[in-house]
Amino acid sequence: MCRHLAWLGEPVSVASLVLDQPSGLLVQSYAPRRQKHGLMNADGWGVGFFDPRGQERSDSGDDTAPRRWRSASPLWGDASFASVAPALVSRCVVAAVRSASVGMPIEPSASAPFTDGTWLLSHNGVVDRAVLPPSKHAESTNDSALLAALIFDRGMDALGDVLVEVAAADPNARLNILAANGSRVVGTTWGDTLSVLSRDDGVVLASEPYDDDPAWREIPDRHLVEVHDSRVQLTPLKGS
């Protein structure tokens, strides 16, 4: 239902991850190559990143909250973002383009990434809202926002347990997650694709490869993947 990407590594421009790659999120918004559900992702987009200056000041207690730019419009039509994205530089990025489920609102606040002030989180998939508890912290009423609020409430270390519980309540759920806090990226595969690329300057996790580099590796379904200090660790999820 969406395509998303996370980066952790040396500072790079948002444009180099989202716009400039031959099959990056910009192209995936209208012509994804490996999307199993839906034909395009024209119902919004979002980019979240951590300011490297803020990360360097973290020991002094200064604000290190993630920054976001979200829209309900197709990514390909946003000239303002295209002009600014080359100047946005970060060590940690989460970005997504959205294909809204039927009946879900199309508004900027319904587009990933969602945040609790520390983590950025994107959901690629679908889940019955009836199995998700109401939350005053949810940024929108769509399934992804409610799922993000549940994960934030339970804590990222419980991510695997939360997804197993949600999947048990809704066996048709697809629960691919990407989340990052500036120094760590966590992802899951549950019903959709996710690939990893280890570069000399960092690690990319993405719904589908943004180019034809043979170094891309597909993450098996129903796995948790963690990236920290350029190390990639895979763990099978319970119930897989």
Quick: pLDDT tens for 212-229. 999 999 999 999 999 999
Name the band, by pLDDT with cuts 50, 70 and 90, for residue 239.
low
Total tally of structural domains belonging to the chain: 1
Return the half-sphere exposure (C-beta side, CA atoms, 13 A cut-off) of residue 174.
17
Of 118 and 238, the structure prediction assigns the larger pLDDT to 118
CA distance 229 to 231: 5
Question: How many CB atoms are closer than 10 A to CB 25?
Answer: 26
Average pLDDT over residues 138-145: 96
Would you state the pLDDT for residue 34? 85
Cβ proximity of 87 and 52 under 8 Å:
no
Question: Tell me, what CATH number does 104's domain have?
Answer: 3.60.20.10
199 CB-contact burial (10 Å; exposed 0-12 / middle 13-18 / buried 19+): middle
Q: For residue 66, what pLDDT is reported?
A: 95
By annotation, the residues acting in catalysis are 2
Q: Give residue-wise pLDDT tens across range 33-73.
A: 988 787 888 899 999 999 876 544 444 334 578 999 999 99
| Phi-psi category of residue 182: left, alpha or beta, with phi > 0 → left and psi -120 to 50 → alpha | left
Q: Which domain holds residue 220?
A: 2-236
